[in-house]
Amino acid sequence: MQQDQFLDVIDRDEAERRFRAAIRLEPLEVDTVALAEALGRVLAADVAAVGDVPAFDRSNVDGFAVRAADTYGAQEEQPRVLRLSPAAIATAVVPSQEVAPGTAMAIATGGMLPRGADSVVMVEDTDTREDELLVRRAVVPGFAVTFAGTDIAAGETVLRRGELVTSRETGVLAAIGRAAVDVYRRPRVGIISTGDEIAAPGTPLPLGHVYDSNGRILADAVREQGAVPLELGIVRDDAEQLRAVLREALDCCDVVLLSGGTSKGAGDISYRIVREVAEPGIVAHGVALKPGKPICLAAHHRKPVVVLPGFPTSAIFTFHEFVAPVIRALGGRPVQAMDDVAARMAVRVNSAVGRTEYLLVSLVQRSAADGAPQPLAAYPLGQGSGSVTTFSRADGFVTIGRHQELVAEDEEVSVRLLSPAVQVADLVVIGSHCVGLDLLLGRLQAHGLRTKFLAVGSTGGLAAARRGECDLAGIHLLDAATGVYNVPFLSADLELIRGYRRTQGLVYRRGDARFAGCAAEVALARALADPTCVMVNRNGGSGTRLVIDQLLAGARPPGYALQPRNHTAVAAAVAQGRADWGVAIQRVAQQAGLGFLPVVDEQYDFVVPRERAARPAVTAFRDLLADPAVRAALNQLGCHR
């Protein structure tokens, strides 16, 4: 099959320079909207007050308007006596009488200060006696009075162009009497999902298809930038249909985003249609970065047109890198500030020379043996650009330069945060994944504790616990010499929280005569004797991998090199026919409708660094494990004592 090649893969900064040179970056035209519709909009002009706020001198308390000089010398035991005027000043009333020397006039909070008065005595500092007022506390001029224009003076600029209107700004606008305000029009962003394999959420998912997560992610990301998404649906790999939808989008939108079809395979047509329809067309196709190399940047009469990669992480990352700043500029919003923090890389990371790599990472707080905080540890989220969850679970990213081959373990790196501040989790768990652990962490979240889990395998979790990078490490490591799980791997600075047992075994498609109706040992011998019988392995460092290698005793059957990182991926490979057998826990086999032959009843435990053992979140975890109702729920998942 013949396919085009990337002929001009260029540097990220050069791609951005070309893109910005071809498009409009000035704010869109001005809309005048009612105050009730101004929330979340961006002001297109300075706003000045036409009058003072407040517009008159007013009382801050319930009390009596007086001349301050008449109260001098007043004490609790020797009050000053003033003649009390029969008039009283309520709110919204313009006083018609003057406060003469030696007199006082009742006034409500917010009432207009009458002529002659220069202060207000609080009602609790007075007593009344017929037509007299006994003042027991002296006041100074201006006491308990807000003078006209104290808050806002007439002609004062109270809000400036480019400010985002929040509830604070709408309050200011209401206070100066504005019923409408000038704002920039919100950019309209057309979103087109492309591909024969894309299915709409809520519809049946045929094998080989994926749900359209990019359309949803992009629409909501557009809203987060203050723009209006126009979701134009899923377009199959049909040139005529895509051409018509793209032309419609270019007619009614300020920005057009296509998801998928930007790589240069025979089935990728998005960039070809953009090249045909847009004028002047594509300015960059192929950028030396990871993720996001296939991104296609184009323009149509200064309108941005972008074909984002189809893989979710690549799509959302390149959206934030190239598209979000443009949308903000069109809507009159400032560049979004992003913070950097220092961290140490938790593991060695290799990088391809020749392209800038943006490595998404999750941050965890290290601690020393004495409990003192240490530099943050950055864990790479290595699920790849096809992962839907990688971006959502990341705290930030590390930029690896195009000439850098690796980042060493414990090397200091700068992490660009994806949100203004890192939310430190109450409980960090690193290690082997388990459905029982999912249940436990979900219960803790329901009780208001923030949790973070990083799946790195049992060996990686144990190493993280030794380095003080987690509160708990989930492990199921078998010591071949003793036949004991987990305990032989502890060091003096670690302690064990006993978890539960679970059964691992061979999983296979029901009806496969090589496995059905026999013991695991017999089934394994048949599988190894059949060169057409393909296995699916597990990743190195996992407890399951140790079980597999012990079973194989040095054999390397077909499929041994395929090493997914969790039980569900093993089950999916077998259920979908890409492999014939693997090793997984019983619960996952049941959920996938697979046959199961027990191999080992293993112990899944939790390791905690001793300096973290008394932390409230760890204590809550221990209590949860001891809860009879939780134990019953774990038993239903196949996790038992």
Distances from the Cα of 46 to the Cα of 160, 182, 535, angstroms: 4, 9, 68
Q: Which CATH class is domain 340-417?
A: mainly beta
With b meaning 16 or more CB within 10 Å and e meaning fewer, what string describes 165-190? beeebbebbeebebeebbbbbbbbbb
Domain ranges of the chain: 12-26+186-330, 30-53+151-184, 58-146, 340-417, 425-641
Rounded distance between C-alpha atoms, residue 340 and residue 311, angstroms? 26
494-508: strand order across its sheet: 451-455, 427-431, 472-475, 595-609, 494-508, 581-585, 535-536
Which CATH number is associated with domain 30-53+151-184? 3.90.105.10
DSSP 3-state of 40: coil
- Which fold, 58-146? Molybdopterin biosynthesis moeA protein; domain 3 (2.170.190)
Tell me, yes or no, if the pTM score tops 0.85.
Answer: no
Level-2 CATH architecture, domain 425-641: 3-Layer(aba) Sandwich (3.40)
Q: What does residue 552 show for φ and ψ, rounded to 5 degrees? A: -75, -25
Structure tokens at 357: 């790599």
CB-neighbour burial class of residue 496 (10 A; exposed 0-12, middle 13-18, buried 19+)? middle
Pick the CATH number of 12-26+186-330 from 3.40.980.10, 3.30.420.40, 1.10.8.420, 3.30.70.360: 3.40.980.10
Rounded distance between C-alpha atoms, residue 68 and residue 137, angstroms? 11
Q: In the beta sheet, which residues pair with residue 345?
A: 378
Pairing type for strands 396-400 and 356-367 reads antiparallel
Rounded distance between C-alpha atoms, residue 436 and residue 432, angstroms? 11
Give Cα 592 distance to the centre of its chain: 31
DSSP 3-state of 279: coil
* Predicted pLDDT of residue 267: 58
Tell me if domain 30-53+151-184 and domain 425-641 are identical in fold.
Answer: no
* Predicted pLDDT of residue 542: 86
* Regions of the chain where pLDDT drops below 70: 1-7, 263-267, 368-373, 382-388, 421
* Predicted pLDDT of residue 5: 46
435-446 helix and 616-626 helix, angle to the nearest 10 degrees: 120
